Amino acid sequence: MTNLFEKYTTDSVFRDRFSLTPEYVPEELPTREDEQTRMVEALSILLDPFRPVAVNIAIIGPAGVGKTTLAKKITSDLQSYATSQNINLETHYVNCHSFRTKTSILRRLATDKFNIQGRGFSDEEMMEMLAKKLSRENKRIVLTIDEAGMLKPEDILGLMHMNELFPPGVGRISIIIITRRQQWSLMLNTHLSGRVQDQINMKKYTREQLKKILSYRAQLGFYAGVLSDEVLEMIVDIAATTGNARHGIEIMLRCGMIANAKKTSVITPEFVRAAKNEVYPELRPDVFNDLKMNELMVALSIATILSKSGGLVHTTINEAYQVYKMFCEQYDIKGQSKATFRLYLDNLAQLGIVISQVKPMPDGSRGRRSIITLHDIPALIVKERVEEAIKKKVQNKLD
């Protein structure tokens, strides 16, 4: 009998599932080359073989723009380069979700990393012991404090002040602070800002950037052929609404899990819609009850087309209009002209149920066509809810 784990592994769509998990730090950070260069420039003074100096850097930006990843990647490169140059440098990372005070950070550093028994000592005593040990061993450390908005600014300042325990001109403790933007504006009002030599502002990713990032991550995560360009584009579109790379990567991971559960080797648009819904479960449940009967017919026609097996990415106005007419007949409702149909479609788009875009013709011929997609909700769920709303209306004889 085959081992169940072996079967699972060989049947998987994942080349490397771990590479799509939040813990994974990718080798490369496409589209963040400038930020990497800035970090390297700022930190390179720590590689002076003769004089230990410290520098403080802040990385600021919204969710999922690569702040943590940038810091982890650069400090890991710094660590290995310093070792190769015989410079005694160590990098440490703390996340303030777990360590919420200066004391807990110090204790963590002192106990775990330097074998100093921290318990029973004050912060000042611990800092002194740490400083002595660093001097004796001629060591430099770089401490990354992630989610620093959870800490009081005084606590961060307190850690930075540790450098005053060394002779003038010497610094052995460098700090990289990472925060979201709003939290940083609060911190700016304190003395902290004067202590930070370099501030790296990271912006939301653009669609183009996300395309590069997500196709790189898809190559690492999936076997060739699992995620078509078309489906990738769809994930990029979703992530572009937030500018957050994690949004797209999480959707890819979930899509892979769905494919494995369904024992198929290809990710379909329908999986993307389902995964998206799991990542961002923000569908207002009563949105369909507010629709008019004709709008429900439009939504029903699109959802029906897109939920067909084989999973279409999008449909066209012409196709949807044909199916709409058919449903109108079936429910005994007066069907409207194509122009009115378009108005209903606009309403549905405004409510965030469908997305209607104008794109060039797929065969490269001249002209453009309108295509309709359903990003937000799996087509089958839309279909189900629309049918429920129709039933309610029919029962209550509403239009």
Ligand X SMILES: Nc1ncnc2c1ncn2[C@@H]1O[C@H](COP(=O)(O)OP(=O)(O)OP(=O)(O)O)[C@@H](O)[C@H]1O
Q: Which residues bind ligand X (CB under 6 A)?
A: 22, 26, 29-32, 61, 63-69, 180, 213, 216-217, 245-246, 249
**Which C-beta is closer to Mg ion: that of 19 or that of 68?**
68
- H or E element at residue 172: none
**Which C-beta is closer to ligand X: that of 23 or that of 282?**
23
**Which C-beta is closer to ligand X: that of 30 or that of 352?**
30
What does the alpha-carbon distance between residue 151 and residue 256 come to, in Å, rounded to a whole number?
37
Q: What angle do CA 309, 345, 351 make, to 5 degrees?
A: 95
For Mg ion, the nearest residue by Cβ is 68
**Which C-beta is closer to Mg ion: that of 65 or that of 379?**
65
**Which C-beta is closer to Mg ion: that of 177 or that of 291?**
177
Which of Mg ion, ligand X, none lies near 238, with the C-beta cut-off 5 to 8 A by kind?
Answer: none
**Which C-beta is closer to Mg ion: that of 82 or that of 187?**
187
User: Mapped to the 3 state alphabet, what secondary structure does 256-294 carry?
Assistant: HHHHHHCCCCCCCHHHHHHHHHHHCCCCCCCHHHHCCHH
- Please report, as a single letter, which amino acid is at residue 131: A
Contact (Cβ atoms closer than 8 angstroms) between residue 205 and residue 248: no
Shortest spacing between CB 65 and ligand X, in angstroms: 4
**Which C-beta is closer to ligand X: that of 31 or that of 277?**
31
Which of Mg ion, ligand X, none lies near 93, with the C-beta cut-off 5 to 8 A by kind?
Answer: none
Task: For residue 230, give both structure tokens.
Answer: 């078309």
Half-sphere exposure in the Cβ direction for 124 (13 Å, CA): 0
What does the alpha-carbon distance between residue 97 and residue 343 come to, in Å, rounded to a whole number?
48
- Please report, as a single letter, which amino acid is at residue 294: N
Shortest spacing between CB 276 and ligand X, in angstroms: 16
Place of tokens 């892979």: 256
Shortest spacing between CB 231 and Mg ion, in angstroms: 27
Dihedral in degrees, nearest 10, Cα atoms 370, 375, 376, 377: 100
Instruction: Say how many C-beta atoms besides its own lie within 10 A of residue 351's C-beta.
Output: 16
What does the alpha-carbon distance between residue 234 and residue 229 come to, in Å, rounded to a whole number?
9
Which of Mg ion, ligand X, none lies near 26, with the C-beta cut-off 5 to 8 A by kind?
Answer: ligand X
Shortest spacing between CB 23 and Mg ion, in angstroms: 12
- Please report, as a single letter, which amino acid is at residue 241: T
Scanning residues 238 to 297, which ones bind Mg ion (CB under 5 A)? none
Which of Mg ion, ligand X, none lies near 378, with the C-beta cut-off 5 to 8 A by kind?
Answer: none
Contact (Cβ atoms closer than 8 angstroms) between residue 91 and residue 142: yes
**152: Cβ contacts below 8 Å, ≥ 6 apart:** 101
Shortest spacing between CB 185 and Mg ion, in angstroms: 18
Which of Mg ion, ligand X, none lies near 31, with the C-beta cut-off 5 to 8 A by kind?
Answer: ligand X
Shortest spacing between CB 68 and Mg ion, in angstroms: 3
Shortest spacing between CB 273 and ligand X, in angstroms: 21
- Please report, as a single letter, which amino acid is at residue 242: T
**Which C-beta is closer to Mg ion: that of 61 or that of 171?**
61
369 DSSP β-pair partners: 359
Q: Does 68 interact with Mg ion (rule: CB under 5 A)?
A: yes
Shortest spacing between CB 202 and Mg ion, in angstroms: 10
Q: Residues 19-58 vs Mg ion: string with x where CB under 5 A?
A: ----------------------------------------
Interface residues with Mg ion (CB under 5 A) are 68
